[in-house]
Homo-oligomer: A and B are copies of this chain.
Amino acid sequence: MPPAESLAGDYYRGKQVMVTGGLGFIGSNLARRLVELGAAVVVVDALIPNFGGNRENLAGFEDRLKIHIVNLSEAKILAALVTGIDVVFNLAGQVSHLDSMSDPLTDLEANARAQIVLLEACRQFAPQARVAFASTRQIYGKPAYWPVDERHPLHPVDVNGIHKMAAEAYHTLYHEVYGLWTVSLRLTNTYGPRMRVMDARQTFLGLWLRRALEDQPLEVWGGGQQRDLTYVDDVVEAFLCAVANPRTAGGVYNLGGCPPVRLTELAQTLIGIAGGGTILTKEFPAARKRIDIGDYYADDRRFRAATGWAPKVMLAEGLERSVAYYRERLGAYV
């Protein structure tokens, strides 16, 4: 089966492309897609426990791309790896909000220090490379209005959000000061095959999916909160578009997804598709309450206008694909 069309067309054919965090959820989906599109793909991943990397995510692709198990903060190795690279999809990072609060210095290493080392390597050894950074809605904190556009004030509610804010700012700065080609996408909740389902470190939806497949209760904290979700294939396509498009250089864009849904409704839909699980509504635990943000959904019209991108996979279909994926492979992820 030939790969589906990409708005990026033939841009990646023959390109040397690095994916940091390439054994992780979004990174592995992106790496696989890039191989299909004809790119020479170099995956860099530190496989730090609990960060989201999993060798299973590139199962079957091991001979079609290169995998380097290396920490981004190892400057000399990184310098060698970026030399000759045309595009860097920079998706590496620590993603757990709670872990960032209990161990802020580890979060600093992964989400700030390593990002500087990567950008310095690009500036010195790959100044022509295009660099796309996975930023996050988390940097807005608790929204003051909806939908949230890029002018919304930044007010992170956890250490992770502060460091992602800093890392995004590094990327913009390296564009403005050094002329490095960078673009940042502020992702909302992303879900789909290869997401972490072992726990809620990456997304609550991953753990819900596991629970549904195991016919266990899904813990829903609150439940009335609205969220927009993006299926991972749509996020991958957004990254491909962002880099292939000359208009996005130096830009920072929200990425939204399907229309927002309330968490209780999302849990019910998932349970219906998975054919298992029950809803267990809970009060917010104190530690979570303080860093919860209430409703969030993005205004991503700037990105859509700049690139022509729009989400293609609606919620029910995305959940069906996700359930089908994990029904076959749950053992490799828990």
Interface residues of A (CB under 8 A from B): 101, 104-105, 108, 112-113, 116-117, 120, 151, 153-159, 162-163, 165-166, 169-170, 172-173, 176-177, 290-291
Contacts and interface: CB of A to CB of B under 8 A. Distances in A.
Given A108-B113, A162-B170, A166-B166, 19 more contacts: A101-B177, A105-B113, A105-B116, A105-B117, A108-B108, A108-B112, A108-B116, A112-B112, A116-B159, A151-B153, A153-B153, A156-B169, A157-B173, A157-B177, A158-B173, A159-B173, A165-B165, A165-B169, A177-B291
A157 B178 CA distance: 12
A155 B159 CA distance: 19
Contact of A116 (B104, B117, B177): B104
User: Per DSSP, are chain A's interface residues mostly helix, strand or loop, or mixed?
Assistant: helix
Contacts of A172: 155
A290 B153 contact: no
Contacts of A170: 159, 162
Contacts of A151: 153
B177 A290 contact: yes
Contacts of A290: 176-177
Contacts of A153: 151, 153
Contacts of A154: 154
Contacts of A116: 104-105, 108, 159
A245 B291 CA distance: 27
8 closest A-B pairs by CB: A162-B169, A166-B166, A104-B116, A177-B290, A162-B166, A108-B113, A156-B169, A105-B116
A112 B104 CA distance: 11
A158 B117 CA distance: 16
A115 to B, nearest CB: 10
Contacts of A169: 156, 162, 165
Nearest to A156: B169
16 contacts: A101-B177, A108-B108, A108-B113, A112-B166, A151-B153, A154-B154, A156-B169, A157-B176, A157-B177, A162-B166, A162-B169, A162-B173, A165-B166, A165-B169, A166-B166, A177-B290
A138 to B, nearest CB: 12
